[in-house]
Structure 1
Amino acid sequence: MTVSLEQLRRCHIAVDLGAARTRVYVKGCGLVVDEPSVAAVNTRSGALIAVGTFAEQMTGRTPDYIRVVRPVSGGTVVDIEMAQRMLRHLLGEKLRRQLRRKPRLRAAACTPHDSDPLAQRAAVETLIGLGARRVELVDTLIAAAVGCGLPVEQPSATMIMMCGAAATQVAVLSLGSIVTAERMPVGGNAIDHAVLQYLRQQHQLMLPSQSVRPLQLALRGNGLNSRGPASTEIHGRDVVTGLARSVQVDTAAVRQAIHAPLTAVLDGLGKVLRDCPPDLVADLAERGIMMVGGSALLPGLDQMLRDATGMPVHIAERPDVCSVLGLGAMLEGRIHPMVLQPIRN
């Protein structure tokens, strides 16, 4: 772990700035913010018009003078000023007033595994702009493992797969630290793009970008598996005529389109297992893989991992909020590390 649990217990607020959603946990209050990482700006005046869900609904529907921006990309803050403005509005005046009463406000933030110093600095600057006097950085993989209840501090192997919007991270943890890890630049956005490309090329159908994820989740419930219906009806816009049209889509073909960009994830997973000590691999064969992150619910991903590795694959109870809940557990002091005392001769 990058910081000690004692330092984290002194923090008052935990922030998970993700490419898809921003989540804030306040000590003593719980999860207070869970909104899309989106902001809408008036380019004429520079005023912030909307943030969160309302701003996301504006995507693709705005006039020329309104720009919808995402200040976080791939787990990294790319626009510090806009990220600060977005966070201020998401927190609200009442909560910000409560935080300002703290004499020395401390904050904790999640950072992707092996993030470079510039990305870490951007996260720190974002929270300092909100009034934090000190910012502690925690690896997203460790926070997510704690949040989904894995025995991170025990001397046994646990494998976690963080399926984010822009990237997928896989790690093996033992004794509270990462033994080996890999980060692949393939996430939910790449899978969304694969579905859009398939429908455009094979059926000359265009879907709004906001409807791709609900479509995938609906297919998951309606049978995007080998035992489900052979086809399903999808509504969209014809590429040639521009008119609304419905087509019957083969679910097996959609499943294949989703699996195509995931080969890089399987390669990264294999590399982690090859670099892992044999004793820990034996533990993993029994415990399996725990999937967290918003993209963990994508159809067919868990079964694909079972077929490729032969290991059990589990999806966390609340996979999308595991990271921030793990940070919150550390802030509240609910995590007790295993203390290893030096042996005296």
Structure 2
Amino acid sequence: MTVSLEQLRRCHIAVDLGAARTRVFVKGQGVVVDEPSVAAVNTRTGGLIAVGAFAQQMTGRTPEYIRVVRPVSGGTVVDVDMAQRMLRHLLGDKLRRALRRKPRLRAAACTPHESDPLARRATVETLVGLGARRVELVDTLIAAAVGCGLPVERPEATMIMACGAATTQIAVLSLGAIVTAQRLPVGGDAIDHAIVSHLRHRHDLLLPAQSVRPLQLAVDAADPRTGTTEIHGRDAATGLARSVTVDTAALREAISAPFTTILDGIGRVLRTCPPDLVADLAEGGLTAVGGSALLPGLDRMLKEATGMPIRIAENPGMCAVQGLGAMLEGRVGPMTLSPLPAR
């Protein structure tokens, strides 16, 4: 963590800008925003048409003069102006007026592990544009570990994996800090792309933009007698609607490449971790957070590959913002390491 708990207690709001969803926590009110990080823009006038869930529903369904954009990618703001406009509309006029009454508005925000200075600056500029006088940045891994109840302040190892839409972050924590960590450019979007590519090349089937996540759930809920699931889409040759029956084992094989990358990242973290902490993980295991942690079969695959206990956090997508909220409201006790007296 790059900021002290005392500084975080002075903050009024906490923001988790994710590639998939944006969440805002207000001190004393809890989570007030939990919407997709999507905005729809009229390219003729530059006006904002929709944000959040409604803008996400417009994906792939808009006329040529409406463009659906994502101002955040992998937890990093790639379009500061659009991110500010999206946040203003998500917060609403009433809440923004209440925040402007704060004499010195302070905000806290999550940043991906080892994000570069330009990415951190973009996050700060986004919140400063909303009226924040000071912005504190907290590593996403530490915020998520606090939010899912891991004992990060103890002198024992806790392992966490934050599965986002664009990236996967893996870390071992001890004594309130990150001992070793890896950030991988693989997330839920890569698994979506693997499924879409498999159906395109094997079955000449094009999927609607909104159907990939329900397809992943169908993989886990397939007919146990036949091991198949029915998928609806558009024929790549004729353009007509068509349904195909797909072997779920083939789909699981199609997504093995991104899963293998995640396993390699876990292996690198364990190899660079001190042996004493690795021994702690044999009992404590790994906790998965983030929206993509709910992918069907992820916990089974990790347990079979690592031999460690795997736990999916309750409401994993909310862990980071809830951890920030706990720090803002003083529900996390400071860890003090007093120096020994001189002799």
Same fold (TM over 0.5): yes
What amino acid is the match of 1:288? G
Is the 2:153–2:176 contact (alpha carbons within 8 Å) kept by the matching residues of 1? yes
Q: Secondary structure at the match of 2:211?
A: helix
**Cα drift, residue 200 of structure 1:** 1.0
- What is the distance in 2 between the residues matched to 1:228 and 1:163? 31
Q: Cα gap change, 1:67/1:10 in structure 2, threshold over 3 Å: closer, same or farther?
A: same
**Cα drift, residue 240 of structure 1:** 1.1
- What is the distance in 1 between the residues matched to 2:100 and 2:222? 48
Give the structure 2 partner of residue 170 of structure 1: 170
Pairing 1:247–2:241 present: no
Give the structure 1 partner of residue 326 of structure 2: 329
- What is the distance in 1 between the residues matched to 2:248 and 2:112? 33
Give the structure 1 partner of residue 40 of structure 2: 40
**Cα drift, residue 228 of structure 1:** 7.2
Pairing 1:285–2:282 present: yes
Give the structure 1 partner of residue 28 of structure 2: 28
Unmatched tracts of structure 2, length 5 or more? none
- What is the distance in 2 between the residues matched to 1:222 and 1:150? 34
Pairing 1:339–2:336 present: yes
**Cα drift, residue 244 of structure 1:** 1.1
Number of residues paired by the alignment? 342
Is the 2:111–2:140 contact (alpha carbons within 8 Å) kept by the matching residues of 1? yes
Q: Kindly, what percent of the aligned residue pairs are identical? A: 77
**Cα drift, residue 229 of structure 1:** 4.9
Give the structure 2 partner of residue 201 of structure 1: 201
Is the 1:39–1:69 contact (alpha carbons within 8 Å) kept by the matching residues of 2? yes
Is the 1:19–1:74 contact (alpha carbons within 8 Å) kept by the matching residues of 2? yes
Is the 2:71–2:77 contact (alpha carbons within 8 Å) kept by the matching residues of 1? yes
Is the 2:218–2:229 contact (alpha carbons within 8 Å) kept by the matching residues of 1? no
Which of 299, 306, 310 is the aligned partner of 1:309? 306
Is the 2:219–2:251 contact (alpha carbons within 8 Å) kept by the matching residues of 1? no
Pairing 1:218–2:215 present: no
TM-score (norm 2): 0.98
What amino acid is the match of 2:92? G
What amino acid is the match of 1:148? C
Q: Secondary structure at the match of 2:327?
A: helix
- What is the distance in 1 between the residues matched to 2:298 and 2:225? 16
Is the 1:255–1:300 contact (alpha carbons within 8 Å) kept by the matching residues of 2? no
Is the 1:229–1:251 contact (alpha carbons within 8 Å) kept by the matching residues of 2? no
Q: Secondary structure at the match of 1:104?
A: coil
TM-score (norm 1): 0.97
- What is the distance in 2 between the residues matched to 1:334 and 1:228? 49
Give the structure 2 partner of residue 131 of structure 1: 131
Is the 1:113–1:140 contact (alpha carbons within 8 Å) kept by the matching residues of 2? yes
Q: Cα gap change, 1:268/1:228 in structure 2, threshold over 3 Å: closer, same or farther?
A: farther
Superposed CA RMSD in Å reads 1.1
Give the structure 1 partner of residue 272 of structure 2: 275
Which of 209, 233, 236 is the aligned partner of 1:236? 233
Q: Cα gap change, 1:174/1:229 in structure 2, threshold over 3 Å: closer, same or farther?
A: farther
Q: Secondary structure at the match of 1:210?
A: coil
